[in-house]
Chains A and B, each alone.
Chain A
Amino acid sequence: MSSKRPKSKEARKSKGKDKSNETNPTPDGGALESVTSPPTGHPDYIFPLVLTSATQELFGCRADEDVTGENPYKLLKKEDIIKDMKTRASVSDFSPVKQLVLDYPEDELLLVFDRDFTYGQSFYLVLTVEAKENILKPSVEGDEEQMKEEEVEEEEMIIPKTPVSHPWISLGSEQEIEEESVTESRPRLRYKISPLLRHCGAPVCFSDRSALDEKEGFVECPSYQDKSFSIREMEKHTAIQASCDTKHSSTQTLWKYPKNMWTQYEPREFSPEEKEHHLRSEHLKNFITSVLIRFEISLQQNYITDVFCDDWTVLCEDDGMLAGKTETQLKEYQTFMDLHFSKEKTISHVHWHPTISGVIAVAMTERLSLEERIDNSTKLLLNPSYILFWNFTDPINPQLQLECPDDVLCFQFCPSDPNIIAGGCMNGQVVLWDISAHVERLQDTRSSSKNISNKLDKNNVTPVVRYCAVSGIENGHKAPITDIQWLPETFELSKLGIPVENPSRISVQLVTCAPDCSVLFWDLRPPRVVSHSLTDVKQKSEEKPLENPHGVPNTFKHLNLTWKPFIRVSLPKIGSSGEYSPLKFSLRDNTVDSPTGDKPPQNTDREEGCGFAQLRVPSAKQQKPLENISTKLYVGTEEGELVYTDWKMEKDNDSGRLLSTKPIHRFPLHDTLVNTVSRSPFFKDIILTVGSSSFAIWKEGVTNGPILMSAFSKKMLTVGHWSLSRPAVFFIGKEDGSIEVWDLLQNTHKPSQSQNISSAGITCIRTSSISSKQHLLAVSDCLGTLHILQIPWTLRRSSNSEKQIVRKYLEKEEERLEYFEKRQIKHEKEKKEMEAEQQRKKTEPVLPLKQEEELEAEALKKYEQFLALEKDILKNMGLLNEMEDSSDIHLRASAADFTVYNDDISTITSMKSRPIKGHLFQAANQKALLDIKGLWDMTGPIARLSCSQMLTDALDVYHREQVSLRTHICAAREISTQNDIYPAEECRV
């Protein structure tokens, strides 16, 4: 029902409009246009109108009179409007709505006063019935409601009211919905679609197809650089690993194997022809002559002076010698004297201990004559004499006593073992001691004197060492042994006296001599047991337990009382029967190195006491004879002779016995016994012998006599000893207790100094060098006192060249000897000639006179020759012209013959010619060395040479001093006459 209503309304409305339009087209035309022009903003059912006041009055609807704001509605009647429109036509205000009014179905139209101009005009006309009703009623209701609402609002403020549902009012929307909705007007069409049946399930066949064939077969998406990803690189991490490449390489070296090769070259030499050729060459001649002078000068320079001589050192040496002169005397250092043992006894021998310094051994003998000795023999036997050992640390007590069977005249330490001492007794026995048990005592005292002195105080007994062995009386010397010496350890002697090698390097042999005309050689080793019978051996073995009663070391047990010398050298006199009686001897120091060159084995571990017993005499065949050892010895005899002999034995051809050779030389020189035969420690062939009144120095090999022979001394000389440190110095001891020091470099005719040491005669002198600054001289005297003297600096220090100088001196002396000998021979010859001459003279006495004349004539001839030669020389030199020649001759006619000696040059220059003579004369006169002598012998080449050399100068002098020359010659004549040198007639002017 509702949907019908709006439709009708609309239709009515359109009708109404159409009506008005159709009915009032003219009057309303203008109005309409005016009305329609502002159609904005008003719904379709309203039409705003402007009503003129006349219209308002006609219709009774004046503004604000009929219609007010509170009552705007006025219902107009359709007829009135149509009438008005017809009366007034186009002027009517309703003409625009004429149609609408005509279409309006009802009789009354509603006009609404629009006071507020809501729709633009002061009035609007509602064109529809529904809108008229709506406006009239709701507006009333609305107003009321509005009023009420205001009231309600005022009330709602207080009481909320729930909305009340209103019934739906259709306003045409349902039609629109109906138009929009789809409604099926017919049944739906139905279609069925399907594929062809034959295609269904049919096999599908695929095949390759080139994408390029068809246009859009593929889509290519090529890569491109996307700008959005191009980022700048700011930091970079990099790393590098270095590694060397492995390399393989190889090389090949040549193998040099050792090869034996040699090469020899020889110097190139010229053949004799070539040499000849060279020697003949002119060039060589020129060369040699050109360099000759240079060489001569240099050679002479060297000969005259030593340019490279160090003056400073030479000066030093001289200075030293001078400075040392302040202290030249021997100074007493120490004196040893034992009240008990050595008083009133003569010291026969003194020896320094060879290894321990400051220890000295002294041998004593009784001062008795032979008769006294015989008388007191028993007493002497009961009081054995001793060898005393002194030490510097203890001047009162001797350190050691060696008991002797008899007085000992000489003793010596064994060179290879200083603990073994061999001594020669007065009774002809050889004694041996072994002090090895007491060495410590000797050494100890040296180191710690205090302890020893204390010890001595305690026991106060000097140990007495008994001798180990004594030689057999019947086989030994028959006279006191005056000298004893060990053979050096380097060699030993065979039974024939031939020196052979000593394999053990221990001195086992010693030599003794006694005035019983023999020199004996002893061997320490036990003799070969061939001769020993069984009983002997047994006896020995039985003896053994009994031995050693006095604590004697049995070093030489095997020798005791049975010891025999193995060589006996007799000294048969030369030219006459009998034998020399030796007192002293001297062997040549044969310190020859062993041929093998081995060092001697040091047998320090020699067992106590049995070393020598174990040593055996080796068989002669095993030993090598040493050829370079001299077997000669000098022997000083009782008769004052020096005998030079050989100890080698010779086999006598007739008997086959061994005989000693005859002495080689014999020098009867000293008047009485020779007390010293001593070799110089520096020159092995120089020997000093001292007799009682003189001493002599000999040289081995010089057979003419002594090199030096001293003058006879007023006092007896008792001993001589070489200095160990200076080759030129030796000491001579005298009977009056003084010592002479001889220095060959200072004086040979008198001692360089003499000094009194003791009141009694000197018996023995021995030197020793304790240190380089202390050299000591041990001097013993007849009264049993041993003086130890200090050798002054000058006597101990030798200059570097001293040995050489001394040697030169000795050589010169030797030459002198030879010269004298030659001269002697010459003299003898001359003597013989003279005798022969005399004999002849006797037969022919006239001849010599003639000869004299002849000689004179000869000399004159020579003189003439010389003058001619001189003239020639002068002419050759161009120094003599005719003028001078004449004057020279003139002068020469009155010339005298002079000889001028010039001692400085030590040459005799003989001058004949005037000018030369004058010159030399003058020169010599100045030196006051003038001697004038008549001279005839002018033939000497030297004189001639010097003449020519000096001619130049002489002539100059001559010209200058022609006048003064005469006076000189006059003066010379005067001198000669005054001094009576030569008769005046020989100086003819």
Chain B
Amino acid sequence: MAEVEDTLKRIQGINGVIGTIVVNAEGIPIKTTLDNSTTVQYAGLLHQLTMKARSTVRDIDPQNDLTFLRIRSKKHEIMVSTDKEYLLIVIQNPAE
């Protein structure tokens, strides 16, 4: 547990990182550094998007799988890493 928190703190400490969210496979946030409503919104929406992206990748090649998703928006960059059970979402402001 401490290790997880340490790692998340380390990510949070990198320049420009706005927030870090750990989400389970169903899109329910487990740990977050953001406020509740933002977390829920990010978790729900990005979970959906990631699942969609993952299914796309898998449809193209069933042996393949999505590992990392980076979304560059005008204001932020959202990075999502997935595995079977968890999602890690990191939101960064790259301009900072």
Contacts and interface: CB of A to CB of B under 8 A. Distances in A.
Given A270-B30, A288-B7, A299 B88 contact: no
B8 to A, nearest CB: 7
Interface stretch (A169-177, A290-298, A418-426): A290-298
B48 to A, nearest CB: 13
18 contacts: A268-B26, A269-B28, A276-B1, A278-B22, A278-B24, A279-B1, A279-B5, A288-B88, A292-B7, A294-B81, A295-B11, A295-B79, A298-B68, A299-B14, A299-B17, A302-B77, A303-B14, A303-B15
Given A284-B86, A288-B88, A298 B1 contact: no
B85 interface: yes
A823 interface: no
B7 A289 contact: yes
B90 interface: yes
B14 A296 contact: yes
Most chain B beta-carbon neighbours within 10 Å: one of A280, A290, A296, A303: A303
A133 to B, nearest CB: 161
Contacts of A302: 16, 77, 92, 94
Given A295-B11, A303-B15, A279 B88 contact: no
Contacts of B88: 287-288, 291, 295
Interface in B28-65: 28-31, 40, 43-44
A295 B22 contact: no
Interface of A: 267-270, 275-276, 278-280, 283-285, 287-292, 294-296, 298-300, 302-303, 306, 308
A47 to B, nearest CB: 154
Nearest to B79: A298
A284 B30 CA distance: 10
Contacts of B81: 291, 294-295
B95 A280 contact: no
A305 to B, nearest CB: 9
Contacts of B96: 303
A367 B79 CA distance: 70
Contacts of B68: 291, 294, 298
Nearest to A269: B28
A300 B14 contact: yes
B7 to A, nearest CB: 5
A308 B94 CA distance: 10
A280 B94 CA distance: 31
Contact of A308 (B7, B22, B72, B90): B72
Nearest to A286: B83
Given A287-B88, A292-B11, A298 B70 contact: yes
B45 to A, nearest CB: 11
Contact of A279 (B28, B30, B70, B94): B30
Contact of A285 (B4, B26, B43): B4
B2 to A, nearest CB: 9
A280 B1 contact: yes
Contact of B16 (A268, A280, A303): A303
B55 to A, nearest CB: 20
B10 interface: yes
Nearest to B41: A267
Contacts of A280: 1
Contacts of A287: 83, 85-86, 88
A268 B11 contact: no
Given A288-B7, A288-B88, 5 more contacts: A269-B28, A283-B85, A289-B7, A296-B14, A298-B77
Contacts of B24: 270, 278
B4 A284 contact: yes
Contacts of B15: 299, 303
Contacts of B28: 267-270
B4 A267 contact: no
A298 B30 CA distance: 23
Contacts of B26: 268
Contacts of B72: 308
A267 B17 CA distance: 25
Given A299-B14, A308-B72, A289 B3 contact: yes
A321 to B, nearest CB: 22
B16 A288 contact: no
A857 to B, nearest CB: 36
A660 to B, nearest CB: 44
Given A295-B79, A295-B88, A269 B29 contact: yes
Contact of B11 (A267, A270, A299): A299
Contact of B30 (A267, A275, A292, A308): A275
Contacts of A276: 1
Contacts of B40: 267, 269
A288 B44 contact: no
Most chain B beta-carbon neighbours within 10 Å: one of A275, A288, A292: A288
Nearest to A283: B85
A287 B88 CA distance: 9
A267 B29 CA distance: 10
B30 A299 contact: no
A302 B3 CA distance: 25
Contacts of B31: 275, 279
A284 B11 contact: no
B8 A306 contact: no
Nearest to A277: B30
A269 B28 CA distance: 6
